[in-house]
Structure formats: structure tokens, C-alpha cells
Amino acid sequence: MTLLAPQPRSTLNTRSVNGRTGLVSHYEREIAAVLTLDVAAPYVVQVWVTSNPDKLRSWT
């Protein structure tokens, strides 16, 4: 949840992630995490978060 909380020098934007809508968390222009949700209306059944810098390198 810290990735989603408003912080100085951080932003949260929507982007396409593997063909689905996802959230991209930036900290000082660097990508901190990518989040996607699996939804079975009206429930969120799974949250996927990638914060590994090696996996996020291709996003920058």
C-alpha cells in the first residue's frame, strides 16, 4: 500500500500492462512498481505487483 500512498516525488499512472489496464508507480522518474488486478466482478481476486528492478528495467 505504500506504493499507492501519495508521497513527495512520486506519481501513479494507468498504462497498458500485458494488454490489460495496470498501475505504474514512479518515484523520482524511475519506475518503482507495476500493479495489475484480477477481477471477478465485483471482487478483486488477485493483486499482481512487480517491484524487481531487473524486471522493471525494460519499462524505463
pLDDT (tens digit per residue) in 18-51: 888 899 988 888 898 999 989 898 999 999 999 8
What is the count of structural domains for the chain?
1
Residue 3, in any domain of the structure: no
Residue 1, in any domain of the structure: no
> One-letter amino acid identity for 15?
R
* 25 φ, ψ (degrees, to nearest 5): -100, 125
In sequence order, the 6+-apart residues with CB closer than 8 A to the CB of 5 are none
Residue 12: pLDDT band with limits 50, 70, 90: confident
* Domain housing 20: 10-51
Question: Quick check: 1 pLDDT over 70?
Answer: no
Residue 15: pLDDT band with limits 50, 70, 90: very high
Strand (E) or helix (H) holding 12: strand 10-17
**What's the pTM?**
0.76
